[in-house]
Amino acid sequence: SQSLESVGDLAWFGAAAFQILAPLQLAVAMPFSALLVASAVAVEKDRKTLDLLLLTSLSNSELVLGKLFAGMLSVVVVTVATLPLLLIIALLGGVSTLQIMRVEAVTLASALVAGSLGSMIALWREKTFQALAMTALILVLWLLAWEIAAAVGGDSNWLGMPAKYWAIAMSPWQAVQEAARPLFNS
């Protein structure tokens, strides 16, 4: 417990809380999105009901997108439900509404990509466990590879851009960290 004696202390607390909650939100959204979508598709294959879905008049894209969005619905609801909490934190100061929107956009885009990965692997593999294990492994390897690239890259340039910017563009974790970093006007 610490007493807040000035507006600056309150803004510092708001920024610190946001820097904790933003990565936590991503850490929940990405794996749940990937695994929920992968399990939904894999269960359809295990129960042999995917064959029945293929016999309907739905197009392939309607089937894939329907499974993707249905599996991601709970993740999207939880992510959007955190928006009021983050906006309350913005009232404390230290965090701008633009930062909050950037974090929400990165989180939702990352959940969509992770869900798409889970769907693709579940459609590719036969068994549910294989689909879930491969999805989790690929997500971990992806994040780990870009964390290593950010740490090792230093000041080197890759295709004319610094390695740090590549890591921010390709790693959701790095992107959320960058979006949650306080902006100071000089």
Residue 109: name the closest of 21, 171, 18 by CA: 171
Provide the pLDDT for residue 186.
45
pLDDT confidence of 10, banded at 50, 70, 90?
Answer: confident
Distance, in Å, from the CA atom of 56 to the CA atom of 47, rounded to the nearest integer, reads: 17
**Range with the largest mean pLDDT of 25-34, 37-46, 85-94:** 25-34
Distance, in Å, from the CA atom of 132 to the CA atom of 160, rounded to the nearest integer, reads: 37
Q: Is 149 helix (H, G, I), strand (E, B) or coil?
A: helix
pTM, two decimals, is 0.84
Give tens-digit pLDDT for 67-92. 899 989 999 999 999 999 999 999 88
Provide the pLDDT for residue 73.
94
> What mean pLDDT is predicted for residues 21-47?
91
Question: DSSP characters for 109-137?
Answer: HHHHHHHHHHHHHHHH-SSHHHHHHHHHH
**Range with the largest mean pLDDT of 46-60, 69-83, 156-170:** 69-83
Residue 105: name the closest of 33, 18, 172 by CA: 172
Provide the pLDDT for residue 4.
63
Distance, in Å, from the CA atom of 38 to the CA atom of 143, rounded to the nearest integer, reads: 19
Candidate from 15-19, 159-163, 170-174 with smallest mean pLDDT: 159-163
Give tens-digit pLDDT for 111-158. 999 999 999 999 888 888 888 999 999 999 999 988 888 888 777 777
CA 67 to mean position of chain CA atoms: 18
Average pLDDT score, the chain: 87
In this predicted model, which residue has the larger pLDDT, 102 or 94?
A: 102
